[in-house]
């Protein structure tokens, strides 16, 4: 009985190995689908350097629309915001900090949230270009130093700057280039916030 069980296990492992080998060979024989002549959807991770280090994108391309037209959308967020700093003081205005207290301006920083839409066009089987626009919300902050050290922590504190905050129109453009069978590298630029767009998108052929 033990010999039969051992033989069955060996046979199962052998068949399993052959199945995996056959599937691997079939995958290698399949032509790599290209961006211009295949329909794709993609999901990825995208950032704006140096302003937003958290972001996600969706991509769709199909040759049924002008031989490789598609749509790209993304959402990106700042990860290092003074809004989460324990020294943020909501009861002090910029005028009070500068004029009433005479505190020294030490640093300025903005928190960004943006949502973008762009058209994508596959120029070659390995390259697709995109261009579009979106909505960005900027919340500006200022960090001051209080010489008397009665405000904030060791004299340092953050306040919001409403005059420099607001809604912006973001213009973006760039391209996708194939790195591997299912992986695209994204590089581009955008205006609000001004920075370089970098991302990796995993694609799935339809």
Burial grade of 169 (CB within 10 A; 0-12, 13-18, 19 or more) = exposed
In the chain, the percentage of residues whose pLDDT exceeds 90 is 74
Tokens representing residue 103 in the block: 């505190």
User: By C-alpha distance, which of 57, 47, 72, 43 is closest to 203?
Assistant: 43
pLDDT value for 29: 47
Q: What is the mean pLDDT of the chain?
A: 87
pLDDT value for 163: 96
Q: What are phi and psi of 80, to 5 degrees?
A: -120, 85
Summarised one tens digit per residue, pLDDT across range 30-40 is 555 678 888 99
pLDDT value for 108: 96
Tokens representing residue 145 in the block: 């130093």
* CB distance 72 to 174 below 8 Å: no
Greater confidence (29 vs 115) lies with: 115
Residue 20: half-sphere exposure toward Cβ, Cα within 13 Å: 6
Is 171 a residue whose pLDDT tops 90?
yes
Summarised one tens digit per residue, pLDDT across range 52-87 is 999 999 999 998 877 789 999 999 999 989 998 999
pLDDT category of residue 18 using cuts at 50, 70 and 90: very low
Tokens representing residue 18 in the block: 């052959």
pLDDT value for 64: 83
Cα–Cα distance, 57 to 54 (Å, whole number):
11
- Of 9-13, 148-152, 178-182, which range is least confident? 9-13
């Amino acid at each position: 009985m033990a010999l039969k069980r051992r033989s069955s296990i060996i046979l199962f492992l052998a068949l399993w190995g052959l199945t995996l080998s056959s599937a691997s060979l079939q995958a290698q024989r399949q032509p790599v689908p290209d961006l211009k002549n295949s329909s794709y959807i993609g999901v990825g991770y995208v950032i704006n350097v140096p302003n937003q280090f958290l972001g996600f994108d969706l991509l769709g391309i199909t040759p049924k629309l002008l031989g490789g037209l598609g749509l790209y959308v993304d959402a990106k967020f700042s990860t290092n915001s003074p809004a989460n700093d324990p020294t943020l003081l909501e009861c002090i205005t910029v005028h009070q900090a500068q004029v009433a207290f005479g505190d020294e301006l030490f640093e300025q920083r903005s928190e960004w949230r943006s949502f973008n839409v762009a058209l994508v066009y596959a120029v070659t089987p390995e390259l697709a270009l995109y261009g579009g626009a979106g909505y960005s919300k900027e919340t500006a902050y200022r960090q001051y130093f209080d010489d008397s050290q009665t405000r904030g922590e060791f004299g340092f504190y953050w306040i919001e700057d409403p005059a420099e905050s607001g809604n912006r129109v973001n213009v973006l453009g760039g391209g996708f280039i194939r790195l591997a069978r299912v992986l695209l590298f994204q590089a581009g630029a955008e205006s609000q916030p001004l920075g370089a767009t970098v991302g990796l998108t995993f694609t799935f052929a339809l």
